[in-house]
Amino acid sequence: MSRKKWSIGVAFLSLVTLAFSSHADETCNSPYMSKLIKGQEDFVHVWTLGVEGLGDGSDKLVTIDVAPKSKTYGKVVHSASVGTRGEAHHMGFTDDRRYLWAGGLSNNQIYVFDVGTDPARPKLVKTIGDLTAKSGLVGPHTFYAMPGRMLIGALSNAGDEGGATGMAMYNNKGQFVARYDMPTGEIGGVKGDGYGYDLAINPARNALLTSSFTGIDNYRRNIGELLKDGEAMKRFGNTMVLWDLKAMKPQQIFSVPGAPLEIRWSLKPGDNWAITAAALTSKLWLVKQDAQGKWQAKEVATIGDPSKVPLPVDISITADGKGLWVNTFSDGMTRYFDLSDPEKPQQTYARQTGKQVNMVSQSWDGKRVYVTSSLLERWDKGGEDNEQFLRAFSWNGKELQPAFEVDFTKEKLGRAHHMKFSAR
Amino acid sequence: MWNVLCALALLAIAGEGRSAADPTQPQAPYMQFVPPAAGTYQLQRIQRVPEARLLDRHARVRPLRELTRGKVTLLTFFYTYCTDPWGCPFAYSLMTGLRERLMAQPGTGGRVRFVSISFDPTVDTPEALRLHAGAVRSDARLPWEFLTARSMAELTPLLEDFGQDVRVELDKQGRPVRTINHMLKLFLIDRGGVVREIYALDYLHAEMMINDINTLLLEEKSATLRWFSN
């Protein structure tokens, strides 16, 4: 082959492929789709709830420069508004990490942002509006990449707006593929409650694990009123489900009281366990295979003082599976648990990082930790306690040191929720 | 020679052992489960294979429709000079093993085909494909087609439709080097031209893939029986 010919070949490919030159990672992503990055992330994208009267009042994807050597380090460098307010909540990369799919909990829209072409300037390229029409589900929550498709965990249904829900699968082109209901029957002596929240996959075990929360009738209700309504407080999920991923069939239902939320598999090759935090009971639960290969769920630690309802929300596992960050919303604490023995997590560090905190994301190398503030539009605190921010910290294994902060209210952005990283 | 290089690369990888595995790097997929039996589950109907016109190794124009209908098809993209041990060489080795097993399986002959399409039509000419595919034994029980495109412009829509991102690796001076970064994916297509499964590296479990192929073959059998019973 001549050198000229090769040059023409790569030139052609360069022209058509420069648009795809972005990587990104954090340990709470679907870890199996594309090459992970070990080094410094360049941007943190924050899916932000619009607030009436603040800026344009719309939900938006806010991009913050987090490259320490950059002139705009710690600053908002871009904001991509979707032009409406629909309770921005969670988002997830496609398998190739070229696109971010972001959901609106109250308007059931799925916004697809191109972050691959220029991660400094994500662009809204598609809005998928047929989730409810195609699946009957509402409240798109988790967006989890599978090869060539996206598995979406929903929180509720369009019928009674209660907690019975399911998952919707779309292909990467944005076309609906299938719906899978959360089980309501009995498997292995445990009855499914039909509720849904997070989902996470372990391909080496053909395992899909799902957790459970509550319906739109509760999560779109004022938290003060909700807490006083004893009947409504009974309508929270108390189960996790292990699915045969290939068959997309539930195999086991675990009793996990108190709304088990985020799920993180240990990413260490060969590990066979995942961990979650139950919000209402303030417990860490381990889902692990026993010596016979049967999956078991067991309570392994207490987070703070459950009697004070600290409300553990987001968790972030280290890349080696030996540590876990846990954010508790009510007391604004960010806690670190040593997971060297996942059967006996030990809290080794805690620091108040805000008056209210929700999401926590760490870099792959574990040296940087980012915290945001908003939980749900109608559950966030009021008055001076309603801080809205992204706070960045460095972590030396002993202490969180503040690096920078973006005040989302002062910047007229909204309520800071889910974070994803990218790099040039 | 190609087979020897593949074998050496895989031997080197196997020698690393999982205990020393770096979780940030691609690793050999490993299966720690008993796969559900063929025919006990349904594969999703993910997307239709688009229309495209490609060139085979004899420089004949071949409509992609012709190569993705009528048989169960396992399709992937590659480039002949790929050296990433977890990229094209791994897929080639895996597909070679699957092909041997499927050809030995009773009742499968003539019902499955493999298709490999080059990412780089400029370098991977029909002649280059002939050299590359020379080691693949021709066997009508399971044909393996190697294809390229007449131009990048003709190939790009196909790559986009299959969600195959590709980019040329650049050196520190920003000059292209001889590596095309791409995400390894294999597409399992039913005889009607619908993608029914997509495998990325962590899903490339040979046992599971055999069961998936057999699941689609069983679907055909059921459809045929239904047709006769009607």
CATH number, domain at A239? 2.130.10.10
Between strands B72-78 and B112-118, the pairing is parallel
In order, the DSSP letters of A69-85 are TSTTTTSEEEEEE-SS-
ipTM value of the model?
0.90
Q: Note the pLDDT of residue A223.
A: 86
Instruction: Look at chain A and report how many structural domains it folds into.
Output: 1
- Residue A4, domain member (yes or no): no
Interface probe, candidates A6, A13, A25, A40, chain B, greatest B C-beta count within 10 A? A13
Which chain A residues in 102-131 lie under 8 Å from chain B, judged by CB atoms?
116
- CB contact under 8 Å between B200 and A32, yes or no, is yes
Question: For chain B, what percentages of helix, strand and coil (3-state, to nearest 5) are there?
Answer: 35, 25, 40
For A277-324, the pLDDT digits (tens) are 999 999 999 999 999 999 999 999 999 999 999 999 999 999 899 999
Torsion of CA A216, A220, A222, A226, to 10 degrees: 10
Nearest CA in chain B to A150: B46
Count other Cβ atoms within 10 Å, centred on residue B30. Answer: 13
Domain that holds residue A398: 22-422
- Residue A351, domain member (yes or no): yes
- Residue A232, domain member (yes or no): yes
Judging contacts by C-beta atoms under 8 Å, the chain B residues touching residue A38 are 24
Which chain A residues in 355-384 lie under 8 Å from chain B, judged by CB atoms?
364
Q: Note the pLDDT of residue B131.
A: 94
Q: How far is A379 from chain B (nearest CA, A)?
A: 37
- Residue A2, domain member (yes or no): no
Lowest mean pLDDT, pick from A281-295, A320-334, B193-207, B216-230: B216-230
Mean pLDDT of chain A: 91
For A82-99, the pLDDT digits (tens) are 999 999 999 999 998 899
- CB contact under 8 Å between B30 and A204, yes or no, is yes
Q: Is A11 on the interface with B (CB under 8 A)?
A: yes
Q: Note the pLDDT of residue B63.
A: 97
Q: Is A96 on the interface with B (CB under 8 A)?
A: yes
Which chain A residues in 383-422 lie under 8 Å from chain B, judged by CB atoms?
none
Which chain B residues in 129-158 lie under 8 Å from chain A, judged by CB atoms?
152, 156
Q: Note the pLDDT of residue B7.
A: 38
Which chain B residues in 26-55 lie under 8 Å from chain A, judged by CB atoms?
26-27, 29-33, 35-36, 40-42, 44-47
Q: Which of A127, A136, A65, A139 is nearest to A100 (CA)?
A: A127
Domain boundaries, chain B: 45-229
Q: Note the pLDDT of residue B25.
A: 56
Q: Map residue A371 onto helix, strand or coil.
A: strand
Nearest CA in chain B to A249: B41
Q: How far is B140 from chain A (nearest CA, A)?
A: 30
Nearest CA in chain B to A293: B33
Count other Cβ atoms within 10 Å, centred on residue A75. Answer: 14
> CATH assignment of B45-229?
3.40.30.10
For B124-139, the pLDDT digits (tens) are 999 999 999 988 888 9
- Residue A47, domain member (yes or no): yes
Quick one: average pLDDT of A171-194?
97
The C-alpha R_g of chain B, in whole angstroms, comes to: 18
- CB contact under 8 Å between B23 and A319, yes or no, is yes
Q: Note the pLDDT of residue A29.
A: 58
- Residue A44, domain member (yes or no): yes
Q: Is B165 on the interface with A (CB under 8 A)?
A: yes
The beta-carbon neighbor of B166 closest among A8, A13, A173 is: A13
Q: Note the pLDDT of residue A9.
A: 43
What are the C-alpha distances in Å from B168 to residues A17, A35, B139?
Answer: 7, 15, 35
Interface probe, candidates B18, B22, B42, B122, chain A, greatest A C-beta count within 10 A? B122
- Residue A14, domain member (yes or no): no
- Residue A9, domain member (yes or no): no
- CB contact under 8 Å between A148 and B185, yes or no, is yes
Q: Quick check: A19 pLDDT over 70?
A: no
For A342-393, the pLDDT digits (tens) are 999 999 999 999 999 999 999 989 999 999 999 999 999 999 999 999 999 9
